[in-house]
Amino acid sequence: MRVGIVGLGLIGGSLGLALRRLGGSLEVRGVAHHAEGVAAAQQRGAVDRASTDLRDLSDCDIVVVATPINQIQSVLEQIAADIPRQAIVTDVASVKRPVLAWARSLPDPSRFLGGHPVAGKERSGLSESDATLFRGETWVFTPDDGQELTPFDEWFRLVRAIGARPQILSADAHDRQMAFLSHLAFTLSLAYAQTVRPFADPRLGGPGYRGMVRLAEGDPTLYEDITATNRGPLVEAIDRFADVLHDYRERIDHGDRVGELFQQGARAAH
Amino acid sequence: MRVGIVGLGLIGGSLGLALRRLGGSLEVRGVAHHAEGVAAAQQRGAVDRASTDLRDLSDCDIVVVATPINQIQSVLEQIAADIPRQAIVTDVASVKRPVLAWARSLPDPSRFLGGHPVAGKERSGLSESDATLFRGETWVFTPDDGQELTPFDEWFRLVRAIGARPQILSADAHDRQMAFLSHLAFTLSLAYAQTVRPFADPRLGGPGYRGMVRLAEGDPTLYEDITATNRGPLVEAIDRFADVLHDYRERIDHGDRVGELFQQGARAAH
C-alpha cells in the first residue's frame, strides 16, 4: 500500500507522521512545492520519500491532496494528467462544495472522495505537524449523490487507525456547519482582536482574552481562501451571530433577564 | 504577618495555596460562607486556619476580599464593624469602580486598595484552585485619586512573590479595558455558543470551535454579576465590536479586500 500526500504543511505533514507510525508495509510518499519543503519533510520523518514532482505518485494506491484550498483545482488537473485512474484520490480541505465541483473533471470522478479532518492548530506549516493531530477528532467525508464508498474502505481503515472518526455528510451540510463551527469562529476571533487593540493593553488580558484571540493568530491568507470558497454560508452565520449579539447587547443595556440569557449560552456550550 | 482571605473559591483558594508555598512566618487565614467550604479549604491546604466567622480575621495584617462581586459590599460592611482599622484591606474583583465606591464607607478608606489579578480559568470553585494561577499574570491595583500606596508595600511584595506583576491603573481605565479584554470576551463566547447550537453539531467542531466556546463554559451567574456592575463600558465594547464585525461581513460578502482586513486582525492579535 502506497499513500501519496500532495502538500506537506500542518495537515499533510501530520498525516505523513501518523501514517508512518502505523508501520507495516505502508509507504508514504510526499510532494512539496519547493525542494526545501521536500528536505524538511524528509528530515522530520513525515515521508518515506518525497519530491517536487507529482508524477512520482503515479504508483500510489491513494493520493491525498493536502494543499491550501486555492491550489486544489490545479493539483486535480495534474492528477488527471499524471496519475493512473485506478488510484483513489481524496483531499483535506475545510470547504467541500467547490472541491467536489473541481473533482468532477477527473477521468473517473467515482474514484474521488472529498474529506475534511476536523483537526488543526492555530499555527500552520510542517514545523507544527504532529502525529497525534487527528486523534479523537472527526474526519468528515462528503460523497457525491449516490457515490459508491467501497473503493475508499482501505482509506477509512487508515483514517481510523490514526485515531480519527470517519463521518459521512453531504458537502452542502458540511459547508454550512463549518461556516458556524470554524469559519465564523476565526472571523469572530479576528474581529475581536481588531476591536480590542485600540482600546486596551493586551498585556492586561488574561487567559480569557488570549483564548479568544488564538485563532486570529493563525494564517490570514489561509482564512481568506477559505472565506472566498464558503462566502454564502459564512455571511449567513455572521448574520445569525449578529442577531444573537444584538439581543445580548439589549438585555445587558437594560439589565433585563441577562442571567437567563447567559444560562442559555452556557448550556449551548456544554 | 497574617493574611486573611474572605471567600475561598478559585481565586481565594489559589491565593491561599500560593501564599502558603512562600513559607516563612506567613500565616494564611480563611473565611468561607459555609462549614463545608472551611473543611474543603483546610483539606486542600489552601489555609492554615479557617472558619465561617469574619471576626476570626481581626488580628490579620492584610484582609483580601475574594468573594463574588455581589457579596463585596456586605463583606466590607462586616469588615468595617469587626476588623481593626489598622489592617489593610484589598479585593480581587474584575470590576473596580463599584468596589471603590463601597470601600469609601470603611472607617479608614485610605487602608483599602482595589485589586484585580488578571488570572482565571474557565471553571471556578476551590476544586480548580492552583498555586501557580497568578504566575506571569498582571495584578492591577486601582488607587483612589491621590491615595498613598506605602501602606500596601508588603502586599505588593507578596503579590510579586507569588509570581504576579503589580500594575497601577485608575478604576475607570481598568473597568473600560476589562470590558474589552474580559467581559466582551465572555459575552462573545456565550453568544457564539448560542448561535452555533441550532445549526451545527458541536461534535464536528475542532479545536477552533472548542477554544471559542471555552469561556461560555464558565459560571453564568458570575458573568451576570460582572456584567451588571460594568454595564456601560461593556455595552460600548459590544457596539465597537458589532461595527468591526459588520465591516468584516460586508467585505466577505462582496469579496472585497478581505485579505487586507484579515491581515489587520491577525496583526492586532500578535
Q: Quick one: A22 and A150 in the same domain?
A: yes
> pLDDT tens, B215-241?
999 999 989 999 999 999 999 999 999
Question: Which of A204, A224, A244 faces B177 most closely, judged by CB atoms?
Answer: A204
Taking contacts as CB-CB distances below 8 angstroms, the residues of chain B near A193 are: 265-266, 268-269
3-state secondary structure of B172: helix
The one-character DSSP state at B139 is E
Instruction: Return the number of other C-beta atoms located less than 10 Å from residue A24's C-beta.
Output: 7
Q: Quick one: A164 and A48 in the same domain?
A: yes
Cβ atoms of A41 and A8 closer than 8 Å: yes
Average pLDDT over residues B58-76: 96
Mean pLDDT of chain B: 95
Question: Which of B181, B199, B269 faces A216 most closely, judged by CB atoms?
Answer: B269
Q: Which of A169, A189, A222 is the last residue of a domain?
A: A169
Confidence (pLDDT) at B223: 93
Distance, in Å, from the CA atom of B34 to the CA atom of B54, rounded to the nearest integer, reads 12
Distance, in Å, from the CA atom of B72 to the CA atom of A269, rounded to the nearest integer, reads 29
Question: Which of B186, B188, B268 faces A197 most closely, judged by CB atoms?
Answer: B268
Average pLDDT over residues B46-62: 97
Smallest Cα–Cα separation from A120: which of A39, A181, A188? A181
If pLDDT is split at 50, 70 and 90, which confidence band does B195 have? Answer: very high
A113 sits in which H/E element: strand A112-117
Q: Grid coordinates representing A214?
A: 488564538
Q: Quick one: B43 and B148 in the same domain?
A: yes
Average pLDDT over residues B78-99: 95
Distance, in Å, from the CA atom of A252 to the CA atom of B142, rounded to the nearest integer, reads 25
The residue behind cell 484589598 is B90
Q: Closest-CA residue in chain A for B258?
A: A224
Distances (CA, A) of A205 to A144, B98, B177, B179, B214: 46, 21, 9, 11, 16
Q: How distant is the Cα of B263 from the closest Cα of chain A, in angstroms?
A: 6
Q: Quick one: A138 and A51 in the same domain?
A: yes
Q: Which residues contact B145 (CB under 8 A, 6 or more apart)?
A: none
Q: How distant is the Cα of A170 from the closest Cα of chain B, in angstroms?
A: 13
Taking contacts as CB-CB distances below 8 angstroms, the residues of chain A near B269 are: 189-190, 193, 213-214, 216-217
If pLDDT is split at 50, 70 and 90, which confidence band does A119 have? Answer: confident
* Beta bridge mates, A2: A27
Q: How distant is the Cα of A96 from the closest Cα of chain B, in angstroms?
A: 14
Confidence (pLDDT) at A207: 87
> pLDDT tens, A203-260?
899 889 999 999 999 999 989 999 999 999 999 999 999 999 999 999 999 998 899 9
If pLDDT is split at 50, 70 and 90, which confidence band does A121 have? Answer: confident
* Beta bridge mates, A112: A89
Average pLDDT over residues A77-100: 95
Query: Which of A170, A195, A234 is the best substitution to test chain B (most B C-beta atoms within 10 A)?
Result: A195
Q: Which of B169, B204, B228 is the last residue of a domain?
A: B169
Question: Which of A213, A224, A259 faces B262 most closely, judged by CB atoms?
Answer: A224
Cβ atoms of A206 and B118 closer than 8 Å: yes
Cβ atoms of A218 and B266 closer than 8 Å: yes
Query: For chain A, what is the total number of helices (H) and then of strands (E)?
Result: 11, 8
Q: Which long-range contacts (CB under 8 A, 24 or more apart) does B210-214 make?
A: B211/A185, B211/A211, B211/A212, B211/A214, B211/A215, B212/A185, B212/A188, B212/A189, B212/A211, B212/A212, B212/A215, B213/A268, B213/A269, B213/B189, B214/A211, B214/A269, B214/B122, B214/B189
Q: Quick one: A103 and A137 in the same domain?
A: yes
If pLDDT is split at 50, 70 and 90, which confidence band does B124 have? Answer: confident
> pLDDT tens, A147-157?
999 999 999 99
Cite the beta strand spans of A123-211 per DSSP E: 138-142, 165-168
Question: Which of A180, A211, A238 faces B249 most closely, judged by CB atoms?
Answer: A238
Residue A17, class by beta-carbon neighbours within 10 Å (0-12 exposed, 13-18 middle, 19+ buried)?
buried
Residue A27 pLDDT exceeds 90: yes
The size of the A-B interface in CB pairs under 8 A is 278
The strand order across the sheet containing A112-117 reads: A49-51, A27-31, A2-6, A62-65, A88-91, A112-117, A138-142, A165-168
Residue A92 pLDDT exceeds 80: yes
Q: Quick one: A163 and A225 in the same domain?
A: no
Distance, in Å, from the CA atom of B246 to the CA atom of B81, rounded to the nearest integer, reads 52
Give me the percent of chain B exceeding a pLDDT of 70.
100
Q: Quick one: B133 and B91 in the same domain?
A: yes
Distances (CA, A) of A36 to A33, A43, A50, A131: 9, 10, 11, 21
Smallest Cα–Cα separation from B1: which of B79, B130, B88, B117? B88
Q: Quick one: B104 and B204 in the same domain?
A: no
Residue B121 pLDDT exceeds 90: no
Taking contacts as CB-CB distances below 8 angstroms, the residues of chain A near B234 are: 252
A191, B244: Cβ pair inside 8 Å?
yes
Q: Which residues contact A32 (CB under 8 A, 6 or more apart)?
A: A7, A8, A38, A40, A41, A50, A52
Q: Quick one: A60 and A128 in the same domain?
A: yes
Taking contacts as CB-CB distances below 8 angstroms, the residues of chain B near A215 are: 208, 211-212
Q: Which of A136, A169, A202 is the last residue of a domain?
A: A169
Distance, in Å, from the CA atom of A34 to the CA atom of A25, rounded to the nearest integer, reads 28
Distances (CA, A) of A141 to A114, A163, A167, B204, B217: 6, 15, 6, 12, 30
Question: Which of A138, A190, A258 faces B227 most closely, judged by CB atoms?
Answer: A258
Q: How distant is the Cα of B57 from the closest Cα of chain A, in angstroms?
A: 30
Confidence (pLDDT) at B119: 87
Distance, in Å, from the CA atom of B240 to the CA atom of A122, rounded to the nearest integer, reads 25
Distances (CA, A) of A102 to A139, A166, B130: 21, 23, 52
Instruction: Pick the range with the lowest mean pLDDT from A6-15, A201-210, B44-53, B119-128.
Output: B119-128
Taking contacts as CB-CB distances below 8 angstroms, the residues of chain B near A228 are: 255, 258
Residue B84 pLDDT exceeds 80: yes
Q: Closest-CA residue in chain A for B215?
A: A208
Handedness of CA A91, A97, A101, A104 (dihedral sign): positive
If pLDDT is split at 50, 70 and 90, which confidence band does A9 have? Answer: very high
If pLDDT is split at 50, 70 and 90, which confidence band does B109 have? Answer: very high
B206, A120: Cβ pair inside 8 Å?
yes
Q: Check which CATH number belongs to the domain holding B138 and give it.
A: 3.40.50.720
Q: Quick one: B200 and B117 in the same domain?
A: no
B199, A239: Cβ pair inside 8 Å?
no
Q: Grid coordinates representing A189?
A: 476571533
Residue B122 pLDDT exceeds 80: no
Residue A102 pLDDT exceeds 90: yes
Taking contacts as CB-CB distances below 8 angstroms, the residues of chain B near A181 are: 196, 200, 202, 204-206, 208-209
Question: Which of B182, B203, B239 faces A209 most closely, judged by CB atoms?
Answer: B182
B193, A244: Cβ pair inside 8 Å?
no
Q: Quick one: B46 and B146 in the same domain?
A: yes
Helix B171-178 × helix B231-254 angle, to 10°: 40
Residue B104 pLDDT exceeds 90: yes
Distance, in Å, from the CA atom of B89 to the CA atom of B106, rounded to the nearest integer, reads 10
Confidence (pLDDT) at A123: 79
Q: Closest-CA residue in chain A for B173?
A: A200
Cβ atoms of A72 and A79 closer than 8 Å: no
3-state secondary structure of B164: coil
Distances (CA, A) of A263 to B67, B220, B224: 21, 6, 9
The residue behind cell 433577564 is A257
B268, A196: Cβ pair inside 8 Å?
yes
Question: Which of B180, B194, B263 faces A265 most closely, judged by CB atoms?
Answer: B194
Domain, as residue range, for B186: 174-269
Distance, in Å, from the CA atom of B237 to the CA atom of B159, rounded to the nearest integer, reads 30
Distance, in Å, from the CA atom of A251 to the CA atom of A57, rounded to the nearest integer, reads 59
Q: How distant is the Cα of B24 from the closest Cα of chain A, in angstroms?
A: 30
Taking contacts as CB-CB distances below 8 angstroms, the residues of chain B near A140 are: 204
Residue A80 pLDDT exceeds 90: yes
Query: What is the ipTM for the molecules in this complex?
Result: 0.89
A242, B238: Cβ pair inside 8 Å?
no
> pLDDT tens, B131-177?
999 999 999 999 999 999 999 999 999 999 999 999 999 999 999 99
Count how many domains chain B has: 2
Q: Quick one: B29 and B143 in the same domain?
A: yes
Cβ atoms of A198 and A144 closer than 8 Å: no
Q: Check which CATH number belongs to the domain holding B231 and give it.
A: 1.10.3660.10
